[in-house]
Amino acid sequence: MRFLTFNALILLATISLSQGRLMDRAGVASFFSTTPIEDIEAFNRQALGALNTADGSVAVSLLMKGFRFEKALMEEHFNENYIESDRYPKATFVGRIENYDKELFLQEGSKDYVVNGDMTIHGVTKPMTVGIQVSNDGSIINVETKFIVTVADFEIQIPRLMRDNIAKQVTVSSSFSFTLPK
């Protein structure tokens, strides 16, 4: 696991050092869980995103302790009991845009793409395919995504008492804006 996290960092570093690298240090990631009992939503506004326009590789890294909840108690449970953020402080995604064509990608306008990669949450890595919406106005590339994460896939244990309060699948949304070099 440590090896994979390390790999993700190396990839981030390589992306950031190579040509065509774009970076956003203040990306937004949020997740939403809904059950008949309650809705839970949390936002993280310090997600680090890297996009290499030369080969279409992407990397995202964020800190679990950076998620803010409406209620302090939810945040406490999330960090201490479910996600164990002292042991697993980060979540990462490392992947590549499918059928990447640099020239097409850098044209202005809006397009949808598919990204294949590996997602690591709670120390567990799973292959994952997510759809992204890319809009390019010539100076900024905005990337947005929304996908479903199954809590049990990442070995996140929810105590029986809370099982009706937390959805088995949560919706994750994320957005990054990358400023194109002039």
Partner 1 sequence: MRLTPIKIITVIVVLAGGFIAYRMYNKAHVSIQGLAPDYEIKSTELVSEFTASEEAANEKYLGKILQVDGEIEEILGTDPTPTILVSGNEMNHVQAVFAKNMTFQPEVGKSILLKGRCSGYLMDVILIDCVIVNEDR
Residue 161 engages partner 1 in binding (rule: CB under 8 A): no
Read off the DSSP letter of residue 80: I
Residue 20 engages partner 1 in binding (rule: CB under 8 A): no
Shortest distance, position 46 Cβ to partner 1, whole Å = 5
Residue 30 engages partner 1 in binding (rule: CB under 8 A): no
Q: How far apart are alpha carbons 102 and 35 in whole angstroms? A: 42
Q: How far apart are alpha carbons 116 and 93 in whole angstroms? A: 10
Q: Which of 4, 63, 124, 128 binds partner 1 (CB under 8 A)?
A: 63
Say how far residue 21 (Cα) sits from the centre of its chain. Answer: 18
Q: Which of 4, 14, 34, 65 binds partner 1 (CB under 8 A)?
A: 65
Q: Which of 62, 119, 121, 167 binds partner 1 (CB under 8 A)?
A: 62
Residues 50/14, Cβ–Cβ less than 8 Å:
no
* Identity at 17, one-letter amino acid code: L
Residues 121/91, Cβ–Cβ less than 8 Å:
yes
Q: Which of 20, 34, 66, 96 binds partner 1 (CB under 8 A)?
A: 66
Residue 68 engages partner 1 in binding (rule: CB under 8 A): yes
- For 61-111, the DSSP string reads EEEGGG-EESSHHHHHHIIIIIS-TTT--EEEEEEEETT--HHHHTSSEEE
| Interface with partner 1 in residues 97-126 (CB under 8 A) | none
Under the rule (CB under 8 A), what is the footprint of partner 1? 12, 16, 23, 25-26, 45-46, 48, 61-63, 65-66, 68, 71-73, 75, 86, 89-90
